[in-house]
Amino acid sequence: MAKNGLLERLAAGPVICAEGYLFELERRGYLQAGAYVPEVVLDFPEQVENLHRDFLRAGSDVIEAFTYYAHREKLRLIGRENDLEPMNRQALAIAKKVAAEGDALVAGNICNTNVFKAGDADAARQVRAMYEEQVAWATDAEVDFIIAETISWLGEAEIALDVIRQTKLPAVVTFALHKEGKLRDGFRPGEAAKRIEDLGADVVGLNCIRGARTMMPFVEEIRAAVSIHVAALPVPYRTTTAEPTFESLTDKDPECAHCIPDGRSFPVALDPFQVTRYEIAEFARQANDMGVRYLGVCCGAGPHHIRALAEALGRRPPASRFSPDMSKHYAYGTDPRLKQENREYAKNL
């Protein structure tokens, strides 16, 4: 039996897409912060496979091929341009393999090129060429749909969408919204999303950069501006009005802040800002109530966040077998077989 595609699933309810492989594999010691190139795909493919599987078990409906920043500009920067095609093809093959273990969709992925410049035709040509080669590899791999993500220029998103549209596959476009709260070419998120809708995208929204608290007002703006499905994939950090992006978060604890190089918590000293899984559950309910159907968590996400998201939507993915149950905790538990003296001691813990 053929599996349901993205649009059928979105029509029926929320679709979960786990993201954030870069941060998680960096923490695990298989990828370098800075250039953030997914060399792990070629060098430690079993680690990528395991992480996909962790997210699948936690409830992700989509396995997104780990081709984020596996584009020509980045590969050139680290001197591995010759590995560009093998890296993309391998990432796609790994995603397909794991998706087939469940009922998951496989997504191809293109992202911010860091080459685009408003009004620069040569840059636009370069961006298009980078997207065309990656989208062609994704099409060869017979992905179910393609995501263009973390793009902060409307102009760049338009090129990405145009390239995806040639494939006839469903297109998801998510913008990255920096401190200014608008696209780098000056458009408000709602305006930019409407433009992307008019150009034929199937899903539009925001990913990365902002935690739910500072992302959701803009997601609401987008929800009101378009009639296609809307996506929200925040980072799992407590961003604030004063520091609305994870790049701008600064540690306020003088006992700790002094040892952080340049005083910049991004990207590898963000631990104290991490949200709890309960906050992810709150985000899921809020987004769902708003009619936002394409949900996930970006950089910083772990499988426990995705499981919390799935459970908040009323699901019980395989990893829910190990969701917390404090009834058998030696001190806080309620099980009558527990020692009474330990339960009484709980107030002293």
Which stretches of the chain bind Zn ion, using CB under 5 A?
A: 208, 298-299
Q: Which of 107, 86, 136, 89 is nearest to 19 (CA)?
A: 107
SS3 readout for 232-296: EEEECECCCCCCCCCCCCCCCCHHHHCCCHHHCCCCCCCHHHECCHHHHHHHHHHHHHCCCCEEC
Q: How far apart are CB 208 and Zn ion at their closest, in Å?
A: 3
Residue 117, class by beta-carbon neighbours within 10 Å (0-12 exposed, 13-18 middle, 19+ buried)?
middle
| E strand residue ranges, 86-199 | 105-111, 145-151, 171-175
Separation CA 162–CA 196 (nearest Å) = 10
Separation CA 288–CA 268 (nearest Å) = 31
Query: Quick one: 124 or 269, whose CB is closer to Zn ion?
Result: 269
Q: How far apart are CB 151 and Zn ion at their closest, in Å?
A: 12
Separation CA 48–CA 27 (nearest Å) = 13
Q: How far apart are CB 337 and Zn ion at their closest, in Å?
A: 45
Q: Provide the token pair at 323.
A: 């969701």
Q: How far apart are CB 217 and Zn ion at their closest, in Å?
A: 19
Query: Quick one: 208 or 275, whose CB is closer to Zn ion?
Result: 208
Q: How far apart are CB 246 and Zn ion at their closest, in Å?
A: 8
Query: Quick one: 149 or 197, whose CB is closer to Zn ion?
Result: 149
Query: Quick one: 70 or 124, whose CB is closer to Zn ion?
Result: 70
**Helix (H) / strand (E) containing 160:** helix 154-165
Q: Which residues have a Cβ under 8 Å from the Cβ of 274 and sit 6 or more positions away? A: 236, 237, 238, 300
Contact 192, 142 (CB under 8 A): no
Q: How far apart are CB 227 and Zn ion at their closest, in Å?
A: 27
Q: How far apart are CB 23 and Zn ion at their closest, in Å?
A: 7
Query: Quick one: 66 or 194, whose CB is closer to Zn ion?
Result: 66
Query: Quick one: 22 or 124, whose CB is closer to Zn ion?
Result: 22
Query: Quick one: 295 or 298, whose CB is closer to Zn ion?
Result: 298
